[in-house]
A and B are shown apart, each in its own frame.
Chain A
Amino acid sequence: MRSEPSAWGRLARLLAAGVLLAVAAALVLPLVGSARLDYGRALAGLSLDKEILFYARLPRVLMALVAGGALAEAGVLFQALVRDALADPYVLGVAGGASGGAVLSICLGWTEWAGLSATTLSASAGAAAALFLVVAIATQGKRMSSFTLLLAGITINSISAAILLLLHNVADFSQSFVVMRWLMGSIERVSYRTLAWLTAVVLATVVYLFARARDWNLLAVGEEWATARGLVPSRAILAGFCAGSVITGCVTALAGPIAFLGLIVPHALRLRLGADHRLLIPCAFFGGGVFLALCDTLARTALAPAEIPVGVITALLGGPFFIWLLRSRRRSLWL
């Protein structure tokens, strides 16, 4: 950040590297799997290769790229807003709300509404309801602080966890299996139409967050610090939490809660790039996307032909990482 040209130069280099990595992942990862494929045969229109590549593996890799990018982004943002590197995209009760909605639709046997998956719709509605509740609880007059938002989010998450347990207990065996599967977080096959709207929502949000990166820098230091430098924190905090919750809600509705990704990726990037959100926001999108695409490839190949939910992979990687983070935090810099 010594001078303007070098700051832009560094950003441009990082963006180029991010795009390159994401494109490479989208081209290479679909080739990995139990059935051997090659692009020549698939593009020539040979039926089975084409079918597997373009309708099973490629949409799945693309979905992982977008979903991972969105979760890492929400992680970076929420960590800045609550000033805690241990916050994750689900702190605001979004996962709780989305899971509650999804499980309710599974248990009631709703499957489709106007051609769209009822589970997805109902999970989105649950995420939105949770966000609205949390903001309503945390707002007192014109004042709102990150701390009350955080506590309200934790409360909503616990309440919906209780509701989930209740629903799970009254559900029959096959519903119960679907519920478990959903709660573990997995990237199933998605249609290109679903993928297109998810990508549009996530990209628009990422561009918005990038444009306001300077505000997240100020809020990452403190609310008074930001006020003294000309920002109106309550407005920025509300805008940030809504943006982050929208993308978390969309991803959760489609893929279920995917643990720890929003924690690992931002932290790793901060170690390399520092805390400036003008670099973190764009890099988290590409970094999170490529990371989830790799995890998902591992999930569908490690025990092939059986598939592990990707949430299990991220949790197995993320759990130990989280403990390491806690310990290093106690030791030195975080004190």
Chain B
Amino acid sequence: MSALYELSTLAYCYEGAPALELDAIQFRPGEFVAVVGPNGAGKSTLLAVLAGLRADYRGSCRFRGLEVKRWPRREMARAVSFVPQSLRLEFPFTAEQVVLMGRTPYCDGLFEAPEDHRAVERAMQVTDTLALRSRDFRTLSGGERQRVVLASALAQEPQVLLLDEPAAFLDVKHQIALHRLLRRLCGEGLLVIAATHDLNLAAAYSDRVAVLNHGRLAADAPPAEALRSDLIRSVFEVNAHLWPGPSGRPWIRYEV
């Protein structure tokens, strides 16, 4: 299948300091790509560029053949959704209202149509958030918030789901549930790109691991090839032992 995203000689600078410099990388429909790397390696920047939140990048980042910065915002929002690292609200929106905002790129009237409410219902069901619907978003726990924000992104009915450390605030049960859900969505053709610090989750669930270091691509391969102990030592500066797990996916234990 043809690539959804094609990046070439992409560069992004924060105040003159290069945060991201990628030669060439592609993302295809149905892939689950884990983006890993130490703090400040450029993971969040990459996701923000892909989501169209950083239009001042240099080089080329094409989505469905058209430069991301040339996409009309509303059209882009129907195809690409973004789950930020965390969301804090000042005002008393309910969880359902937060999810409903995901329908914005499809709505023209003042209030949402019945089909929008059906999409919200589905999104809240798969993220196990229906019980939270009328709760004030600010009273939810970190994990509950994360799932509500994911529901809002799914309500956009996107082709691409970009997630910035989606498992950071989740307990083990919900980490696994989230990754199973993401895998299932990939099976339906969704492209999932998730930045993560958890190499074991990346190894267990992704099709490809893109390793970033100082804004550059250090590896881009299936988990068993990308996550090797020499690479982990040079990129993350820790000693790690790898065991082959089921279906060839490595299991990583750090030296403490």
Contacts and interface: CB of A to CB of B under 8 A. Distances in A.
Given A4-B112, A214-B107, A278-B110, A225 B74 contact: no
Contacts of A307: none
Interface string A1-42: 111100110000000000000000000000000000000000
Given A224-B84, A227-B53, A229-B102, A270 B111 contact: no
Contact of A225 (B78, B87, B100): B87
B96 A1 contact: yes
A83 interface: yes
Interface in B64-99: 73-78, 80-82, 84, 87, 89-94, 96-98
Contacts of B91: 79-80, 83, 85, 220, 270, 275
Contacts of A45: none
A230 interface: yes
A274 interface: yes
B53 A221 contact: no
Interface in A269-318: 270-271, 274-276, 278
B209 interface: no
Given A3-B114, A227-B73, A333-B139, A275 B97 contact: yes
A276 B93 contact: yes
Nearest to A3: B117
A218 B101 contact: yes
B150 interface: no
Contacts of A1: 94, 96-97, 100, 111-112
Chain A contact residues: helix, strand, loop or mixed: helix
Interface string A170-212: 0000000000000000000000000000000000000000010
Contacts of B112: 1, 4, 7
Residue among B78, B81, B91 with max Cβ neighbours from chain A (10 Å): B91
B99 to A, nearest CB: 10
Interface string B39-79: 00000000010011100000000000000000001111110
A292 B142 CA distance: 40
B73 A232 contact: yes
Given A213-B110, A221-B98, A229-B102, A275 B92 contact: yes
A224 B53 contact: yes
Interface residues of B, number: 40
Contacts of B73: 227, 230-232
B96 A221 contact: no
Interface string B116-141: 01000000000000000000101100
A84 interface: yes
A217 interface: yes
Contacts of A224: 48, 53, 82, 84
Contacts of A79: 91
Residue among A83, A213, A221, A278 with max Cβ neighbours from chain B (10 Å): A221
Nearest to A83: B90
B90 A4 contact: no
B8 interface: no
Interface residues of A, number: 35
Given A1-B100, A80-B91, A214 B136 contact: no
Given A83-B90, A222-B87, A275-B92, A230 B77 contact: yes
A114 interface: no
B93 A333 contact: no
Contact of A84 (B75, B90, B98, B110): B90
A228 interface: yes
B105 interface: yes
A221 B111 contact: no
A91 to B, nearest CB: 15
B176 interface: no
A232 B74 CA distance: 9
Contacts of A83: 90-91
Given A4-B112, A218-B101, A274 B77 contact: no
A139 to B, nearest CB: 15
B221 interface: no
Nearest to A7: B111
B113 interface: yes
B111 A218 contact: no
A334 interface: yes
Contacts of B206: none
Interface of B: 48, 51-53, 73-78, 80-82, 84, 87, 89-94, 96-98, 100-102, 104-105, 107, 110-114, 117, 136, 138-139, 156
Of all A-B residue pairs in the complex, the 10 with the closest CB atoms, nearest first, are: A230-B77, A275-B91, A230-B74, A230-B105, A229-B104, A228-B82, A7-B111, A275-B93, A275-B92, A83-B90
Given A7-B111, A213-B110, 19 more contacts: A1-B111, A3-B117, A4-B112, A4-B113, A4-B114, A7-B112, A217-B97, A217-B101, A220-B89, A228-B51, A228-B53, A228-B77, A229-B77, A230-B77, A230-B105, A232-B73, A271-B92, A276-B97, A278-B110
